[in-house]
Amino acid sequence: MSKHENPPSSGFQHPKRVCGLILKGGKSTRIGFDKSTARHQGQSFLDHSMARLAPHCDRVAVSIGSTPLLENIPAALQVHDAPPHEGPLAGILAGFHGLETDYLFVLAVDLPLLTDASLRRLKSLIDVPPGAPAPLLVLAVEENDGRTQPLAGLWHQSLAAPLADYLNKGKRSVMGFVDPFPVTYCGIPPNELTNVNTSEDLSFISL
């Protein structure tokens, strides 16, 4: 379902390349440790997220904020936020700058319950017929309460310029940036969009 009708064709090409971007640059202040190292199904959140995205992407990179490079991931697959310390939008902009892609398949590292089936459904929504306008944003939405998760979805590369302008104006709200654009929503089953922000959240997903 769409929040707005897609605008008339504006020259977008049929999607050819999708690169994944794991957002792990947050400070994890509420949980008290780097949440990307928390465990789910025998893997760290970061490894789990990368393994989930890999089948759907040409390559998967990690937005690491302003932290030092990770030792267990090739440097070419890590991007520093631009500008630093400015939240997830800065990570997404860094992904656009660091990866040549038609779409960024964005996934926050603290969403470990998203299934392969849901990620596949998200990606399927950019598979438009030749000549049809490509979606600008395909975002996950919780099926029961309609809560949008903008950090689980596909962002078209044409958003890079307006995103840079938005950040240059000192704006940081993810939904504030997203709201003016046409959005195609993908319904996600209950609980799959659970954010792990606290120790209690981590206990919940381990049940």
The 10s digit of each residue's pLDDT in 6-45 is 433 344 444 579 999 999 865 555 555 577 778 777 888 8
Residue 107 lies in a domain: yes
| Domain assignment of residue 87, given as a range | 18-205
**Predicted pLDDT at 75:** 81
Question: What mean pLDDT, rounded, does the chain reach?
Answer: 84
Residue 9 lies in a domain: no
Model confidence band, residue 89 (pLDDT cutoffs 50, 70, 90): very high
> What SS3 string covers 72-84?
CCCHHHEECCCCC
CA dihedral 178, 184, 187, 188 (to 10 degrees): -50
**Predicted pLDDT at 31:** 53
As for how many domains the chain has, the answer is: 1
Model confidence band, residue 145 (pLDDT cutoffs 50, 70, 90): confident
Between 56 and 191, residue with greater pLDDT: 56
**Stretch 105-131: mean pLDDT:** 93
Residue 35 lies in a domain: yes
Predicted confidence (pLDDT) at residue 60 exceeds the cutoff of 80: yes
Q: Which of 60-74, 110-124, 160-174, 181-195 has the lowest mean pLDDT?
A: 60-74
CA distances from 27 to 49, 86, 154 (A): 18, 11, 24
**Predicted pLDDT at 25:** 62
Please tell me what DSSP assigns to residue 35: G
- Summary count for the chain: helices (H), strands (E): 6, 9
Write the CATH number for 80: 3.90.550.10
Residue 10 lies in a domain: no
Residue 154 lies in a domain: yes
Residue 199 lies in a domain: yes
**Predicted pLDDT at 41:** 78
**Predicted pLDDT at 72:** 82
**Stretch 87-113: mean pLDDT:** 94
Q: What are the residues facing 156 on neighbouring strands?
A: 103
Residue 119 lies in a domain: yes
Residue 5 lies in a domain: no
